[in-house]
Chains A and B, each alone.
Chain A
Amino acid sequence: MMTEHSEFNFEQCIKCTVCTVYCPVAAVNPLFPGPKQAGPDGERLRLKDKGFFDESLKMCLNCKRCEVACPSNVRIGDIIQAARIKHSRKGPGLRERLLANTDFIGSMATPFAPLVNMTVGLKPVKMVMDKVVGIDHHRTFPRYAFGTFEGWLKRKRKKQSKFARQISYFHGCYVNYNNPQLGKDFVKVMNALGIGVQLLEKEKCCGVPLISNGLIDKARRQGEHNTALLRQSIIENNRPVVGTSTTCTFTLRDEYPHLLSIDNADIRDKIDLATRYIYRILESGEVQLHFKKNAPQRRVAYHTACHMEKLGWAYYSIALLKMIPSVELTILDSQCCGIAGTYGFKKENYPTAQAIGDTLFRKIEASGCDVVSTDCETCKWQIEMSTSKPVVHPISLLAEALE
């Protein structure tokens, strides 16, 4: 019998079970087989017979904390996601399409933002979404902005092109449709460093909600489209690409080649996260930032998002926050908040999502902080929905503290 070939290194697994110890889902939901069994163990069986595929793999958050913990460098999270992509028989329904098409929904919603925000916030609407669509009624959708970030930056094009040094900004759907202020703050910081900010030719959603909701063909098409834009910016125009969202940045760099088979080896190193990009410039000493004097002190608790943990770059965001004279910083233990993008919006996942985040929420409340800071937008939603604290991106805190 021919045995299929696995592109993953599952044979490096020595069955030590350390991944299962650090899996946020296995800790609260025993119905999830855990990363070892769902990943390398299951892969071995699925190669023999795809009948061993189990729909419970959709309980995986794709947080990659198993990979961070693994002493043998097994790509456990990738194995699980790839198995879902390859074998899942359950196609995406209306809910999955609603949650996954952030780009389309955003572009429809922003022109009517006040009306849309009011409508989705109404209790009867929430109940219908819960009962009919399967989006948990505890959830509040992030508010849509009246006008997109892209529209705003296009109007600033002239001013931005005056800077000698240029970067392209991968703003992502959240900045474009929900929080243009973060994009404006990013532009402010970059300009203070003497760098102009450009849009990519026609950025599309990075594709992460499409991947997690099973719309793989569409994710791959968008990934190919974006990779072409990134290549144009990085290679033709010599402009590195910088993002403020950890998940978008992680997806462009690593999920594209690992899950969508899009080769980006020639440009990967020039796709950067905002705080890391800024850290590199400040470390070189070529430019300095000037902070406001006598700004009121703020107690900030930093939360390391899962994909930030996987990137290994929390150091940069923390280092920037430490530079701000008016910030008194606490660093929360790195753990999953439970939402994992669209995962926590689904009715069946709501209890798991809240149980995962429970200890984090308690620690935040006990920390005595004024604000929580994190580089991930969906962590922001989850923490704001589950604690009494507002959540602000490190770049916004930086922008606010600048002279």
Chain B
Amino acid sequence: MRFDTVIIGGGLAGLICGIHLSKRGQRCAIISSGQSALHFSSGSLDLLGTLPNSEEVESPVQALTALAEQAPNHPYARFDAERFVTLANKGAELLREAGIDVIGSAEKNHYRLTPTGAMKPTWLTFGGYVHSASPEELEWKSVALFNAEGFLDFYPQFLADEMRRKGTKCNVHTFNLPELEILRQNPTEMRSANIARIFDNEATLNELANQIASRIGDEQAVLLPAFMGINSQGNLKYLMHKLNRPVAVVATLPPSVPGLQVQTLLRRYFQELGGTYMLGDTAQGYQATQDKISALYTRNHGDIALKADNYVLATGSFFSGGLVATNTEVYEPLFKVDVCYDSEREKWYDRDLFQAQGYEEFGIATTPTFNAQRAGQPIENLYAVGAALAGFNAVKQGCGAGVSILTAIEVAEQILSKM
């Protein structure tokens, strides 16, 4: 099989990289070992929320200099402010082209509401989610929060308490529908994605609208868990129209319905652009000639190699198997490229769970152009992007999605510049 670029990993970074390359006429293949971390999405994409010294970030672009000083190995430290903004805007543009409605900018963070009611700084939020310009208050002074009866992956009372602290009165309700009665026959599997499907049916959505209408008073807005349909678009608009006020959603525990919709839209856009997406396959071996990768072998394709001019590792971190940790070392399992990690094992983690964990910053060591390397020698046509990279703590710094998107576009442009 012959491609221009083969990308290993089909999550946010791999798809953005593949989309950018395909738009410029490259023939790309993405190999994905199962579904991606987008299925655990919060409903927002973070760019940079907190500096390593714990200072909260208002403007990611303005915090860039301080970040580079405090974390010189951070992937962002390779970008100047102009490049940073260009890449971020390009990322938002690609998402919108794929049909994903996002709001926000790299110049100024806004705030997303977490499932437990906290406000966290973020970059882009998917359409329909509760968000606010300020961490201190919501847009509304009173809201009605509706949860599905028996849905356990959502905590209305936490949300109501936290909102009250921010000066918003929150009345909590539960709703019931005949379709939910059916789902409840299997209470442990009453998950967001299964509930979301019932709202693909317009009659069910209409019944929900009627129930809410009969129970709300003069609250300024209606809030619901983020499970308002899987294949249907515009359900929130329909409810807003019927209820004559803003209707917004709050993230649930996984699986994330908007996350899986984003995954589907990105994959579809990539395929429409001519890309080949191979799900459920795992890269297992390769051939190299001198300092270049010449062929890749996967579990499903066996002896039929995937050949390309360039290869991109978008394999993610420990969870997805992009990095593997043993008791003594951390390694990248496919190409055995150089990985940055601390040789003293005590520094891998902190016993206080809520502190920054050392292992979070472990990852693939790359050149300034994101080429992977072996024994310090760059591999000319092998790049690494996203969560597999070293030098950042996605959880503490709130920068995981941003690193994935910005490095994916940067690498795509590196590849295109060689043509």
Contact = CB atoms under 8 A, between A and B. Distances in A.
Interface in A325-384: 331, 333, 359
B186 A70 contact: no
Contacts of B276: 315
Interface stretch (A23-31, A148-156, A214-222): A23-31
Interface of A is mostly: helix
A72 B35 CA distance: 9
Most buried by B among A17, A36, A331, A333: A17
Given A18-B34, A71-B34, A269-B303, A309 B280 contact: yes
Contact of B36 (A20, A27, A71, A279): A71
B377 interface: no
Interface of B is mostly: loop
Most buried by A among B194, B231, B268, B271: B194
A18 B33 contact: no
Interface in B283-319: 298-304, 319
B231 A359 contact: yes
Given A17-B254, A280-B304, A312-B301, A71 B320 contact: yes
Given A69-B34, A312-B278, A16 B254 contact: yes
A14 B318 CA distance: 13
A37 B282 contact: no
A37 B193 CA distance: 16
Interface in B229-266: 231, 254-255, 260
B375 to A, nearest CB: 30
A96 interface: no
B39 A16 contact: yes
A37 B1 contact: no
B197 A33 contact: no
Interface in B27-65: 33-37, 39-40
Contact of A26 (B34, B189, B268, B304): B189
A269 B302 CA distance: 8
Nearest to B253: A17
A338 to B, nearest CB: 16
A301 to B, nearest CB: 14
A283 B194 contact: no
A70 B189 contact: no
Interface in A260-290: 269, 276, 279-280, 283
Contacts of A269: 302-303
A312 B281 contact: yes
A311 interface: yes
A34 B189 CA distance: 7
Contacts of A313: 300-301
A13 B46 CA distance: 28
B8 to A, nearest CB: 14
A279 B197 CA distance: 39
A333 B186 CA distance: 28
B194 A30 contact: yes
B302 A20 contact: no
A15 B183 CA distance: 19
B191 interface: yes
Contact of B34 (A20, A36, A72, A331): A72
Contact of B186 (A22, A31, A67): A31
A69 B280 contact: yes
Nearest to B181: A30
Contacts of B1: 283, 315
Given A16-B254, A359-B231, A71 B280 contact: no
A30 B189 contact: yes
A226 B39 CA distance: 42
Contacts of B36: 71
Given A67-B280, A312-B278, A33 B255 contact: no
A283 B306 CA distance: 12
B304 A20 contact: no
A70 B303 contact: no
Contacts of A276: 304
Given A21-B193, A68-B280, A69-B280, A30 B186 contact: yes
Contacts of B268: 333
Contacts of B319: 14, 71
A105 to B, nearest CB: 33
Given A37-B189, A311-B300, A331-B271, 10 more contacts: A16-B40, A16-B255, A17-B191, A17-B254, A32-B186, A68-B280, A73-B282, A276-B304, A313-B300, A313-B301
25 contacts: A14-B319, A16-B40, A18-B34, A18-B255, A21-B191, A21-B260, A26-B189, A30-B194, A33-B188, A34-B186, A34-B189, A37-B188, A68-B34, A68-B279, A68-B280, A71-B33, A71-B34, A71-B319, A71-B320, A269-B302, A283-B304, A309-B279, A311-B300, A312-B298, A333-B268
Interface of A: 14, 16-18, 20-22, 26-27, 30-34, 36-37, 67-73, 269, 276, 279-280, 283, 309-313, 315, 331, 333, 359
The 4 closest A-B pairs by CB, nearest first: A312-B300, A68-B280, A71-B34, A21-B193
